[in-house]
Every structure is written in structure tokens, then in C-alpha cells.
Amino acid sequence: MMKFYPILFMVLLLSACIDPYNADVEAPERGLSVEAVITTLPGPHEVKLTRNAPYGLSFVGFNRPEILAKVALRDDLGRTFVFTESQDSNRPGVYISDQDFSAEVGRTYNLELELFSGKRYISRPETVAEVPNIDSLTYKAVRTATTNKYIGEVGVQVTAHFQDPKGIENFYHWRPITSTFVLITEPDAEGGRNPPVSCCARCFHTDFPQPANVITYDDKDVDGLYQRKIVAYILDDGVRFKETYRLDFLHLGISQRAHSFLRLVNQQLNLTGSVFDPPPANIRGNMISLDDPNEQVLGYFLVADAEFMRVYIHKDRLEFVKTPFTKIFLDCREFLRAADGLRRNPIIPPLLPLDPPDDWNP
């Protein structure tokens, strides 16, 4: 045992000689993020400004609204359109246009920002290109293999049919927006509450289609041909397609620069971790800091011609749907509150409505 004592002594001696190094690291600045989709559809339109929490700080990913900014849109005719900050306390950092404002086909726009700190930003110019109308929409259920060989993914694929203009370079983007579906529960089924709840089994639930794929396309190889393009995919989670799902989305004609940006975003979102993936990268948008050209601004100012599209997806017209693992033994009105039950949210979610929206027309 004595022969180990010199070794132990040396270890203690070396550890005692280590002096702590206090690194004085400057905290990184929060980066500005711009979310703006301005279209030819009736207003109002919105610009959302936030500051993202940089890596290394507490609450990574927490975005702080950028308030008290000056936001304006200028076109190639010299006209200025001012966006005013929302007075809704639940929507800080959101700037809204006048009700009667919408973009015009053929016009070129720049977004200009002046923050409360005095920093100024401007976008590269974006020109509104006309988008051809969609003739019809079709849908079908699809299965996708997953890493679990026993359980595949089920979803609904929506396809648009339209004529691509000949001799014109077109870039398309299909953007899902808030949609609505019929939520079906089994409040009076055995195995649920004791005694079972007699009401209610059918409600209307708003939903953002998942997954939120970034779908963009150019007509370089199919110029002038009739198009059949997948414009949306909605994951079947066992709840969305129990009856009727109303999908809403925008059919957009975008610039080549916007197409390139969105294609890279989609590429990064679909990284799987395999050796064939491209390396992760920071993707630059089209916003530039006038005070520091090296500052990277996240997001993109997108201005586009748009067509609002809507399709009702009926369960009885799908070849198959996902069988849920369990039943929902709830009064359907309380679905949001039950889903929110494990979160410490001071805002109580509302009850789901029993009546459909006024424009529900399946």
C-alpha cells in the first residue's frame, strides 16, 4: 500500500496548483427577426418584429417583441405606407397596415424599419409577379415509412392543378394558414368519466396544418406546361380527420430571391442527421442593417401576388385514416383546456364552439 502514497501525493499537488481562470465573455446581442408577408389580397397586412435569444443565455429560443418601432413600406412610385403597432396587449411587436392597403402586381416594394434604439434597416427591393389561378384542388390519403417498421405515418396530400404561363419565369410558394376541422370525442363512452359526460361530442377546432413544410417551386424545366403540384401535406394524428377538415392556404407568386431563400429554409428544416445532409447554415434574408452591414437579420420580407384557396377534406372520401390509439373521453368543448393542463399558463384556453364558423360550407 505504501507504494501508492507518492502517486496520491503527486495528484493532490498538481490539483492544488491549478488556478481558476475567470473568463470575461461579452454576452451576445439578440438578433432582429422580421416576419412579413405582404400580398395583393385585401388588408390589413402585418409585419412582426422580434429579438431572438442567442445561444448561451437563459431561455434559449425565447423571442422578445420589438416594440415602439417605426415601420413603413415604400414602392417604386414613391408612395409610403405606414404600419402602426397593434394595440392588442397579446400581440406586442406586431405592426399593421391600413385596412384598404394591398400590394399591386408589377410594383416594387422596400420595407423600412427604425427601431426605438435608433437602428435602421431596409429590405432589398421585391417586385410583385402575377400568379396564375388554380383550376382545381384534389386530395388523397398517403402512407409514409418511418424508422418504426411497424407504425407508418399517415397524412393527407393536397394537389393543385393549374396552367403555367409560357415564356414567363414563374416562382411559386404555397403557404398554409390557420384552418378548421370538426373535433369528435367520446364523452359518454365506457372507460371515461364515471359517470360519463352526456355533452358534447362534436366541436369546431382551429388548427395550423402540421407539419409546416416550406413548399416552393420554379417552372424552369416545365415552362408553359399544365401543372399538378403537391401544395400541402397534413399529418393525420388520429384527431384531425375524424370527420371534415377545412384547409386554407395561400397560392403565391414570389421572386427568384424569395424562392431561393425558402428552398434553403426547407432544406435545413428537413435535415435528418445522416451523412448525406448538407451542413447546417445561417441563411441570410433580404433585410440589411444601415448601421452595420455585417449584422445578420433573420427572416424575410416577402411581397407577392396571392390567391386564397380553400378545400374541404371529407373523411368518407379518404382511402384510409389513422386509427387513434385511445379514445378521447372528454366533453369536446374542454379539449384545449385538457391539452393545456400540464402547462403553467395563466391564460385559461377558451371552450371550443359547438357551432361552425359563419362561412362553413362543406
Q: Distance between CA 98 and CA 94 in Å, rounded?
A: 13
Lowest mean pLDDT among 50-54, 86-90, 328-332: 50-54
Identify the helix (H) or strand (E) that includes residue 267: helix 256-269
CB atoms within 10 A of CB 108: 15
Task: Give the pLDDT band of residue 283 (cuts 50, 70, 90).
Answer: confident
Backbone angles phi, psi at 35, to 5 degrees: -120, 115
Q: Distance between CA 212 and CA 207 in Å, rounded?
A: 11
Task: Give the pLDDT band of residue 23 (cuts 50, 70, 90).
Answer: very low
Lowest mean pLDDT among 4-8, 118-122, 164-168: 4-8
Q: What is the pLDDT of residue 57?
A: 47
Task: Give the pLDDT band of residue 194 (cuts 50, 70, 90).
Answer: low
pLDDT(212) > 90: no
pLDDT(26) > 60: no
> Mean per-residue pLDDT for 163-191?
91
pLDDT(10) > 60: no
- DSSP string spanning 317-353? GSS--PPPSS---S-GGGHHHHHTTTS--SSPPPPPP
Lowest mean pLDDT among 15-24, 64-73, 100-109, 298-307: 15-24
* Cβ-contact 49, 86 below 8 angstroms: no
Strands 298-314 and 171-176: unpaired
Q: For residue range 61-91, what is the model confidence (pLDDT) as tens digits?
A: 467 999 999 999 999 999 999 999 999 988 9
Q: What is the pTM of this model?
A: 0.85
pLDDT(56) > 90: no
Q: Verify cis geometry, omega within 30 degrees of 0, for the bond prior to 165.
A: no
Q: Distance between CA 260 and CA 300 in Å, rounded?
A: 11
Average pLDDT, the chain: 86
Domains of the chain: residue spans and CATH: 29-128 (2.60.40), 130-277+313-356 (no CATH)
Task: Give the pLDDT band of residue 293 (cuts 50, 70, 90).
Answer: confident
List the grid coordinates of 330: 372528454
pLDDT(335) > 70: yes
Q: What is the pLDDT of residue 267?
A: 86
Identify the helix (H) or strand (E) that includes residue 258: helix 256-269
pLDDT(256) > 70: yes
Q: Distance between CA 329 and CA 201 in Å, rounded?
A: 9
Task: Give the pLDDT band of residue 280 (cuts 50, 70, 90).
Answer: low
